[in-house]
Amino acid sequence: MHFGFTDARRSAILSACMFRGPRPSTHALSLALACAIGLASPAPAAAELHAPLGDPSASELAEARARYQAGNAAADAGEFADALEDFVRAFELSGNPAALYNAARTLRSLGRHVDARDAFDQLLTQFPDVSDATRAEARNLREEEASRIATLRLLELPTPSEALVLRIDGTVRLDGGRRPFVLEVDPGRHGVVVTLEHFRPFAWEGEIAPGGAEALTVRLDPEPTASSESILEEPALWIVVGVVVVAGAVIGGYFAWDSAQLRPESQDVIRL
């Protein structure tokens, strides 16, 4: 099975991301995340890469072939993001497992281990007819990728509600309600922010090693009451307080200073 890439066509990223259809629970994250690598942030929704429902037309096969070859060229050039677009599109058009395999390996090269494992899983479960050699290689790579995946556990997370918002690396994550909340992530630096109405946000940022596990206890402290906050944060209040304090100090200081001055003994006074 060959491995290569072509020129970047950013508009194809979006189309390649538009997967539809049933989503097996074992594939929590899918190629949809990876194919959005050219976007500002990966798509949070989980989906798997889909082959066409019916037989592809001749023109679709021709395009798939061209995209597959382009993907190989891009991969050879080290342009893995572009290669991923082409392999994803080639698979969508043709349903050829070679395109899925190359997409999985491209995800691996990109360091997207969660997505790569899921892509290998998809290949192994949906394409039993691939050669034994390819299956064995895919299985080895799948295990290798799985061993690199890290886990993020959020402990004491409140029960799901519309007011509870969970963001991982800036992206809102769906909260299925399972506690503790466990998320598979690629090794590296991650950020977690949990917000809940009337509570101060919980935030964490840190590095997770390959295969590592990070457990975070989410502590949400209630915000101060609106009334006290509004008063204390009112600039006019502090301006008034400042003016009163300064005026008091000046007046007090003046009287203290004045009382210390020498008083003339006579009623008739000349002041120089």
Query: Nearer Cβ to another protein, position 25 or 266?
Result: 266
Tell me phi and psi for residue 220, to 5 degrees. -115, 110
Distance CA 18, CA 25 (A): 19
Backbone Cα Rg of the chain: 32
Residues interacting with another protein, by CB under 8 A? 249-250, 253-254, 256-257, 260-266, 268-272
Minimum separation from the CB atom of position 254 to another protein (A): 6
Which uninterrupted H or E stretch holds 228? helix 226-232
Minimum separation from the CB atom of position 259 to another protein (A): 9
- Picking from 191, 188, 104, the residue whose alpha carbon sits closest to that of residue 150 is 188
Q: Which residue has the tokens 């809940």?
A: 196
Minimum separation from the CB atom of position 158 to another protein (A): 54
Query: Nearer Cβ to another protein, position 209 or 251?
Result: 251
Minimum separation from the CB atom of position 246 to another protein (A): 10
Query: Nearer Cβ to another protein, position 238 or 254?
Result: 254
Single-letter amino acid, residue 155: L
Query: Nearer Cβ to another protein, position 232 or 246?
Result: 246
Scored b (16 or more CB within 10 A) or e, 31-69 reads bbbbbbbbeeebbbebbbbbbeeeebeeeeeebbeebbb
Minimum separation from the CB atom of position 266 to another protein (A): 4
Query: Nearer Cβ to another protein, position 129 or 265?
Result: 265
SS3 at position 254: helix
SS3 at position 203: strand
Minimum separation from the CB atom of position 245 to another protein (A): 13
Query: Nearer Cβ to another protein, position 189 or 271?
Result: 271
